Structure 1
Amino acid sequence: MADLNSGQLLEKMRADAPLVQCITNYVAMNIAANVLLAAGASPAMIHAEQESGEFARVVSALTINIGTLSPDWIAGMKAAATGANEAGKPWVLDPVAHFATSYRARAALEMLDLKPTILRGNASEILAFSGATSGKGVDAGDSVEAAEATANRLAAERGMVVAITGAIDFVTDGTRTARIGGGSALMPKVTALGCSLTCLVGAFAGISPADPFAATVAALSLFGVAGERAEKLAAGPGTFAAHFLDQLAAVTPADLDNARIEA
């Protein structure tokens, strides 16, 4: 599986329709589910502690987004991460605005210590793990380039893939790196698209567990191509959202062969 390119991974993802457990925030649930369905995967929004760990054992992948935290949700996240780890299933952590409060920062570090396969965040979220960021709320205030050293260090030290998303995405596993272009300036105007990208990364990781780096690059490439194409059809953020879902479904494996990826 490690030798499959992004187009081949998209073809396999659509053929297998991996079941992805998405523990995500209230704002993101609808768009995240629709993004996965449009791309070809199958979403499940299971988050309660009483079942999340059991469910994580049977899915293809797990994604955890800390956007709307509470003690009950954190317990469900930890149970799910533990279940995924014990079953050998890949999982993705999205540390939403973990620099905003001490409660959120502590939760993010506790989840990071549970050894996610992939860490995906904006530049400020990744950079904050080194103790420095100018982010505000959920918005990035730092450049992707400023966070690359932190991403490389985290990937090498913790044995995971780290993805920084922005105008040009950056992905590293501590050895390999890639930059992915594409997307649209309208994407930040549609709530929770970044959160839904985390779920899509999980879908690709679920069909490529042996190479989460390639899976992450494929997911970001699909997002970038669909965003670029949707922008050409949209009149603004509202119509962009609809066109973006359409384009996620319309992008072909051959289209990803032309994605703007720089190793």
Structure 2
Amino acid sequence: MELREKISANLSSVKEKSPLIHHITNYVTVNDCANIVLAIGGSPVMADDLEEVAEMVGFASALVLNIGTLNSRTIESMLVAGRRAKELGVPVILDPVGVGATKLRTDTAEKLIKELKPEVIRGNMSEIKVLAGQNVAIKGVDSLADEQGSSIIARTLATELHCVIAITGKTDVVSDGRQVCLLDNGHRILADVTGTGCMTSSLVATFCGVTNDYFTASVAGIISMGLAGEMAQSSMHHGDGIGTFRARLFDSIYNLSPEILAQEGKIRYE
């Protein structure tokens, strides 16, 4: 089956099965992540208490770990939930928000990767470069790195970590170490709305919840956000701003069909 057919079939499966996606994520974007999962057809749960995370993973189809607003309590919850996920074969999707900005973030991301071996790591160029051992400039949790060499970095790191690496930016890059896919959907206004990266990780996780082809799931999740960004922006009128765009982004995800996903996705191979 060709890649476009696979991502189309994956969206149909999401809408049919409504996979439960367990999040231990950051409190800045938690509501948006929950709503984006609902909009695409999944079912979110945002449980992070140490007393219930392992049990909750037992009901889940995928686990998102997002380090955007770290604290010692959630770090331990991530490790407990992640270990249980590995025991059960539940895919772990890591979003290393702001890794490299502080020692805590970097040490935590490295520990999660070493102990849990996530199936997918989704980040911006700065974050992925940090994980690849490169020195980059970071402003808060925002990326200041350019995209030069992104395909090589994605392939190399995916091979090293035995996972899918997904880099989101002007051109998105997804690699499982064997193949590299470049995705050109999206609009620059996506960067003006807090949480679109976190939401993309949640979309990737939702697709990972219905297939064990995590490369295809990552492509599907990223294209979904890119297409929704295009659709939302094209529907805006004079005087509309990022508030309108944000609302229409959810509407566009909600109305995304398998046919649109397959036909409008801008996919090329490196």
TM-score scaled by structure 1?
0.96
Shift of 1:256: 1.2
1:233 matched residue in structure 2? 235
Distance 1:90 1:18 in 2: 12
Aligned match of 2:159: 156
C-alpha distance in structure 1 between counterparts of 2:71 and 2:44, whole Å: 22
CA shift at 1:131, angstroms?
Answer: 2.9
The answer as to whether partners of 2:162 and 2:176 remain within 8 angstroms in 1 is yes
Worse overlay, 143-152 or 236-245: 143-152
* CA distance, structure 2, for counterparts of residue 260 and residue 243 of structure 1: 21
Conserved 8 A contact 1:126-1:147: no
Aligned residue among 170, 176, 194 for 2:173? 170
Instruction: Measure the CA separation in 1 of the matches of 2:142 and 2:102.
Output: 14
Amino acid at match of 2:267: I
- Letter of the 1:172 counterpart: S
Q: 2:197 aligns to what?
A: 194
* Counterpart secondary structure, 1:144: coil
> Amino acid of the residue matched to residue 215 of structure 1?
A
2:106 aligns to what? Answer: 105
Quote the offset at 1:187 in angstroms: 0.9
Say if 2:229 and 2:249, in contact at 8 Å, map to a contact too.
yes
Q: Is the 8 A contact 1:127 1:146 kept in 2?
A: no
CA contact (8 A) 2:155 2:175 kept: yes
Matched with 1:212 is 214
Partner of 1:221: 223
- Deviation track 1:147-175 (CA, whole Å, cap 9, x = no partner) reads 43332122111210000000110000000
| Aligned partner (choices 233, 240, 247) of residue 242 of structure 1 | 247
Contact 1:204–1:216, Cα closer than 8 Å, also in 2: yes
Instruction: Tell me the equivalent position of 1:84.
Output: 85
Question: In the alignment, what sits opposite 1:180?
Answer: 183
* Cα offset, 1:186, TM superposition: 1.3
Aligned residues: 262
1: CA distance between counterparts of 2:62 and 2:33? 15
Post-superposition offset of 1:57? 2.3
2:206 match: 203
Compute the TM-score of the two structures, normalised by the length of structure 2: 0.93
Partner residue, 2:145: 142
5+ unaligned residues in a row in structure 2: which ranges? Answer: none
- Does structure 2 conserve the Cα–Cα contact (< 8 Å) formed by 1:13 and 1:41? yes
Task: Give the corresponding residue for 1:260.
Answer: 266
Q: Does the CA contact (< 8 Å) of 2:186 and 2:227 recur in 1?
A: yes
The change in CA–CA distance for 1:101 and 1:223 in structure 2 (over 3 A counts) is: same
* Structure 1 segments of 4+ aligned residues over 4 angstroms from their partners: 1-4
**Which stretches in structure 1 are left out of the alignment for 5+ residues?**
none
Does the residue aligned with 1:207 lie in a helix, a strand or coil? Answer: coil
Whole-angstrom CA distance in 2 between matches of 1:136 and 1:151 = 22
Q: Secondary structure at the match of 1:50?
A: coil
Residue 42 of structure 1, CA deviation:
0.5
Name the aligned partner's letter for residue 232 of structure 2.
A
What is the root-mean-square deviation in Å for CA atoms of aligned residues?
1.4
**8 Å Cα contact 1:120-1:164 kept in structure 2:** yes
Corresponding residue SS for 1:82: helix
Q: Letter of the aligned partner of 1:188 in structure 2?
A: A
Question: Do the aligned partners of 2:150 and 2:173 also contact (CA within 8 Å) in 1?
Answer: no
Number of the residue aligned with 1:61: 62
- Secondary structure of the structure 2 residue equivalent to 1:69: coil
Is the deviation greater in 21-30 or in 143-152?
Answer: 143-152
CA distance in 2, matches of 1:2, 1:105: 37
Displacement, 1:2? 9.7
Identical amino acids, percent of aligned pairs: 37
- Deviation string 1:114-145 (CA, Å, 9 cap, x unpaired) is 20000000000000122321222111111233
1:104-123 equivalent positions in 2, closer than 5 A: 104-113=105-114, 114-123=116-125
Q: Secondary structure of 1:214's partner?
A: helix
